[in-house]
Amino acid sequence: MSEHWLGLITGICFGALLQQGRVLRFERQVGAMLLKDMTIMKFMMSAILVGMVGVHMAVALGLAQLGPKATQIGANVVGGLLFGLGWAVMGFCPGTSVGAVAEGRWHAIFAILGMVAGAALYAEAYPHLEKNLLVLGSLGKITLPGVLGMSAWAIIPVLGLVFILLFMYFEKKGL
């Protein structure tokens, strides 16, 4: 039961922050893909900037474990590209579609229905992909520090600096 409550409370906070960041909207998401409005990039990169410090600190203090998703180059690339193609037309991602309906953009209901159908379709395709595309370039649960043989604390400041420079660029260009 506590699992459900914890998920719900976390979700309520997440939903409120997505809404307050104004990233649930179709025009923001498509605006980013048209390279005209970088609001969702500012939001995501700010979250990553704070979260990568916080999560790695929690791990260093023994308060949490990392759980990176496995790198399967074939599936990550093909799936990632397919996602992008659909994302541009749909104008929402899975998490934001639900929040978009909640703030009144009810056309996102059709996006949700499509995504449930897409998930069902994938469940049928999975047995046929399991032994080919899904094992292509399978490298396990690797992280950047592991691959580069460096501490996460050497990489985090570099990535943080890149993000901050990008923020300055976005603001300078009025994106």
Partner 1 sequence: MEKRVNWRPYIAGALVGVLATLSVIVSTKVLGKTQFLGASTTFVRAAGFVEQAVDLGHVQKNPYFLKEKVKVDWQFMLVVGIFIGALAASVIDGSFKLEAVPPVWRERFGNSVGVRALGAFLGGIVAMFGARLADGCPSGHGLSGLMQLSVSGFIALTCFFGAGVLMAALVYRWKGGAR
Q: Does 132 bind partner 1 (CB under 8 A)?
A: no
In the complex, what is the shortest distance from the CB of residue 140 to partner 1, in angstroms, rounded to a whole number? 10
Q: Can you tell me the distance from the alpha carbon of 120 to that of 9, in angstroms, rounded to the nearest whole number?
A: 28
Site string for partner 1, 36-75 (x = CB under 8 A): ---xx-xxxxxxxxxxxxxx-xx----xxxxxxxxxxx-x
- Closest to partner 1 by CB, 113 vs 161, is 113
Q: Can you tell me the distance from the alpha carbon of 44 to that of 67, in angstroms, rounded to the nearest whole number?
A: 19
Q: Does 31 bind partner 1 (CB under 8 A)?
A: yes
Q: How many residues does the chain have?
A: 175
Q: Can you tell me the distance from the alpha carbon of 152 to that of 144, in angstroms, rounded to the nearest whole number?
A: 8
Q: Does 103 bind partner 1 (CB under 8 A)?
A: yes
Q: Does 77 bind partner 1 (CB under 8 A)?
A: yes
Question: Which one of residues 147, 161, 162, 165 is an interface residue with partner 1 (CB under 8 A)?
Answer: 147
**CA 155-158-159 angle, 5° bins:** 85
Residue 140: its H or E element: strand 138-140
- Closest to partner 1 by CB, 130 vs 161, is 130
Q: Does 5 bind partner 1 (CB under 8 A)?
A: yes
Q: Does 130 bind partner 1 (CB under 8 A)?
A: yes
Q: Does 12 bind partner 1 (CB under 8 A)?
A: yes
- Joined tokens for residue 48: 């990553």
Q: Does 139 bind partner 1 (CB under 8 A)?
A: yes
- Closest to partner 1 by CB, 22 vs 161, is 22
Torsion 142-86-103-30 (CA) sign: positive
Q: Does 123 bind partner 1 (CB under 8 A)?
A: yes
How many angstroms separate the Cα of 40 from the Cα of each of 25, 43, 59, 73, 175? 10, 5, 27, 25, 11
